[in-house]
Amino acid sequence: GQSLEQPSEVTAVEGAIVQINCTYQTSGFYGLSWYQQHDGGAPTFLSYNALDGLEETGRFSSFLSRSDSYGYLLLQELQMKDSASYFCAVNQAGTALIFGKGTTLSVSS
Amino acid sequence: DAGVIQSPRHEVTEMGQEVTLRCKPISGHNSLFWYRQTMMRGLELLIYFNNNVPIDDSGMPEDRFSAKMPNASFSTLKIQPSEPRDSAVYFCASSLQAQANYGYTFGSGTRLTVV
């Protein structure tokens, strides 16, 4: 089976930096994905890591360490609109994504 | 591109009734996924198709649930008979292929309430 652990809630203020961690257990690991979901909305794709290291996309970055079965999503220069739920997800080769329970990020002014 | 289109957006039905949820994936996407989201269980994979063929249906809760993909542009998820515990948001998603590196595009979801 597969399991993912991520914090249930994180709070931060505008302009700050926040890191959302994700640890996973799965056989045949292929990659780690991150999705954002606003209240009442659909999950939207943020990033994908298959290799160790940091991937940067604007204010968001995602990191993966395959040896530690660990990754994180880094959000910089936080804005109010970043308040949302963030999900990490893993897949094995040829299989569909399995999602974690999500982290609710609340950004205050 | 209109994205992934799901219908209906909301469905309220009585226990025991049949419910059919519909999904039109993005044209050219070869993989289609059905997920269910609840507060307690999060986002659960129900079934996924690749090139219209069901590949993994291990997440389908029980025989009351069935899914079909008769062609590349349409899929249905049917619950018969429905029960109150089926109340959830059901998402359909599509992707170029099951490999997650391309990202999944989700539809707006169907909020199902069974009373």
| Residue range B82-95: mean pLDDT, rounded | 97
Q: In percent, how much of chain A has pLDDT > 70?
A: 100
How many other β-carbons are positioned within 10 Å of the β-carbon of residue A104?
A: 15
| Residue range A19-24: mean pLDDT, rounded | 98
For position B17, what pLDDT does the model report? 98
Contacts of A93 in chain B (CB under 8 A): 99
Site of tokens 């009442």 = A40
What's the pLDDT tens digit per position in A81-101? Answer: 999 999 999 988 778 999 999
Instruction: Give CA–CA dist B89/B57, Å, rounded.
Output: 18
DSSP letter, residue B31 = E
Query: Å from B58 to nearest chain A CA?
Result: 11
Question: What confidence category does residue A48 fall into, taking pLDDT thresholds of 50, 70 and 90?
Answer: very high
What's the pLDDT tens digit per position in B69-80? Answer: 999 999 999 999
Cα distances from A51 to residues A1, A35, A102, in angstroms, run 22, 18, 22
Are B67 and B58 a contacting pair, CB within 8 Å?
A: no
Residues 6+ apart with CB under 8 A from B41: none
For position A18, what pLDDT does the model report? 98
What's the pLDDT tens digit per position in A55-66? Answer: 998 999 999 999
Site of tokens 């939207």 = A44
Question: What confidence category does residue B1 fall into, taking pLDDT thresholds of 50, 70 and 90?
Answer: low
For residue B96, the cross-strand partners are none
Q: Which residues of A touch B (CB under 8 A)?
A: 30-31, 33, 35, 41-45, 48, 50, 87, 89, 91, 93-102
As a three-state string, the secondary structure of chain A is: CCEEECCCEEEEECCCCEEEEEEEECCCEEEEEEEEECCCCCCEEEEEECCCEEEEECCEEEEEECCCCEEEEEECCCCHHHCEEEEEEEEECCCCCEECCCEEEEEEC
Using CA coordinates, name the residue in chain A closest to B111: A40
Average pLDDT score, chain B: 95
Q: Across the interface, do A97 and B45 touch by the CB < 8 Å criterion?
A: yes
Are A23 and A5 a contacting pair, CB within 8 Å?
A: yes
Nearest to B101 among A43, A44, A50 (CB): A50
Give the type of residue at B83: E
For position B2, what pLDDT does the model report? 82
SS3 (DSSP) at B85: helix
Q: Across the interface, do A41 and B108 touch by the CB < 8 Å criterion?
A: yes
Instruction: Give CA–CA dist B8/B5, Å, rounded.
Output: 9
Query: Å from A69 to nearest chain B CA?
Result: 17
A102 Rama class: left (phi>0) / alpha (psi -120 to 50) / beta: left
Q: Across the interface, do A96 and B43 touch by the CB < 8 Å criterion?
A: no
Instruction: Give CA–CA dist A13/B43, Å, rounded.
Output: 28
What's the pLDDT tens digit per position in B9-63? Answer: 999 999 999 999 999 999 999 999 999 999 999 999 999 999 999 999 999 988 9
| Res. A79: pLDDT tops 70 | yes
For position A23, what pLDDT does the model report? 98
Q: Across the interface, do B98 and A31 touch by the CB < 8 Å criterion?
A: no
Task: Give the number of beta-carbon pairs within 8 Å between A and B.
Answer: 60
Question: What confidence category does residue A28 fall into, taking pLDDT thresholds of 50, 70 and 90?
Answer: confident
Question: What confidence category does residue B107 fall into, taking pLDDT thresholds of 50, 70 and 90?
Answer: very high
SS3 (DSSP) at B84: helix
For position A1, what pLDDT does the model report? 72
